[in-house]
Structure 1
Amino acid sequence: MGHKIAVMGATGAVGREVLTTLSERGFDINDITVLASSRSTGTKVSYGEEGELTVQNLADFDFNGIDIVLSSPGGAVSAEYSPKAAAAGAVVIDNTSHFRMDPDVPLIVPEVNPEALAGYKKRNIIANPNCSTIQMVHVLKPLHELGLIKRVVVSTYQAVSGSGKDAMDELFNQTRGIFVNDPVKKECFTKQIAFNVIPHIDVFMEDGYTKEEWKMMVETKKILDPKIKVTATCVRVPVFIGHSEAVSIEFEKEVTVEQAREALKDTPGISVIDYRQDEGYVTPQEAQGEDPTFVSRIRVDPTVENGLSLWIVADNLRKGAALNAVQIAELLIKDHLS
């Protein structure tokens, strides 16, 4: 017995990755509907090795009879349509930021806090965390169980795909334009992104942090432990796909490099590639198209009493978005809908 699935925002980068992930994982589907705005109605999106699906207009769609909605249409659209889908009886797994800090909406990374999924019935909505938060808490969870994390300092190096297709096009066009001496056009980013890095993702807040940095701080507390202190600096880099993070962790008690490495190796979905030699680490280019969260460069942080530093890389469109959402759906079916 399959399930009736709807994918909101199916023409976007994450929506397309959701369809790819559903197909690759053999998700038990009886019927699948793809939804987007009216300007995309009637267009085709790929599903499976040879199949295509016709996009329907989200504004006109009746969600009655749909079991699960995988939603990635942008925050404002999701704010309007996710509650409508939930009211019609569907369980919505939402990839936007709109519902993440709602106390009645569970914020889930299946390898980290699957028990929190039980709270979905309050709103019939489950939130997918921020892409950078997902890969970080995936790694922090087994380490927190070893030594209780007190503080995390993270600097991110985030791919332009985190801002969508237009941002990817801007990086491509700026890079090409520089080689032929065309003027640089800035539309998605505040400064030139080609051959540059921009320490600014999302809007600035009154305390000087950006909203992207705030998301990492508050989402980590909600998912993992409210006692953990987190400070983040989020940077956009000229990479198409794959977020990287340099993370320093302070524990309440000593955690050795060997203990950390073994705990991470034993964690589902984590791949430890950590050799202290040339090429003995993972970069975004190698993580692209891959499911795992990769960990490299595990070492002692000598500036605090019980500290480790490490490097985390993941495909932000897969584990940072589509894969995590599909894993939530699989867990939902297994533990609550079967």
Structure 2
Amino acid sequence: MKIKKVLVTGGAGYIGSHTCVELLQEGYDVVCADNFVNSSPIAMDRVAQITGKTIPVHELDFCDYPAVKKFFTNETVDAVIHFAGHKAVGESVENPLKYYENNLLSLINLCKAMGKDIRKNLVFSSSATVYGFPDQLPIEEDSPVDSFNPYGRTKLFIEQILQDIWATDNAWNISILRYFNPVAAHPSGLIGEDPAGIPNNLMPYIAQVAIGRLERLRIFGADYDTPDGTGVRDFIHVVDLAKGHVAAMRKLETSPGLMVHNLGTGRGYSVLELVNTFAEVNNVQVPYEIVGRRPGDVAANYASTDKAKKELGWEAQCGIRQMVLDTWNWQSKNPNGYSFD
């Protein structure tokens, strides 16, 4: 089964836009669908600039089933990579219904529409948040799953939905990819992470402090049982992550059924290590202050990547210095993200 044409939902977003680049460079035909609530159409112009290829872009809300159904009536694709969804942990705690409605309904509508077609190939964007508080490190795919916030629960619920769909119809081929902590940007500096408002994630917060948009970084907790007392996380370069989706797409061509893989580097970096490396490599100041721990944060969290290496032939290539270099390249060239265009 040859996969040629791929729909990327949420394709104008941070991970989606980088995945579009990698798919195009591997020779796939790509179609983007996005509602642009948390993304910018400018990102797709930049994808075209990087690759020299213009792709069709559809403004589409996957919570609108008639619109989704109409899209699949008019557009035939061989596979779908599903990024569309809300992703801020803090916001999910404040507004859980928004997350349950949007993330679950968009996936259900997508699968309903795909189920009417013979090409049932899907890559789903999941998260390491499904592991909750891990009882062992590194975290393997068969580690216990749980979650302590609505965002993570939507990922868990969707994984269960996909398992149930596959159990009743083995014509589906489904890849569930559990990301750890995506960071950085395309080396061109043309696309990168452009969060709305105050960043929820560490690396864009560091970058915005360095560029002067924010006064200082707050580091939550310096008394963890880690080498320097700050939390340890598995940061993965977004380009490596995007290439992981290409590897999953190739694997779907072998009709593997349902599969689950971690996408991480297999090692952890502390918050202070990331901050200090960013400042050193880019020769910038990153003022910070230590504050109390946040509820729900774990001391350390990093992936076992053996399964992805064995089954997908994929492993991360970029280290922390490349991550901070590419982040600053993006931020310094786009101090206000896409909004200045």
Question: TM class by shorter-chain length?
Answer: 0.3 to 0.5
TM-score, scaled to structure 1: 0.41
Which structure features the higher share of strand residues?
1
Which structure features the higher share of helix residues?
2
TM-score, scaled to structure 2: 0.40
Report the structure number with the largest CA radius of gyration. Answer: 1
The structure whose RCO (Cα within 8 Å, separation 6+) is larger is 2
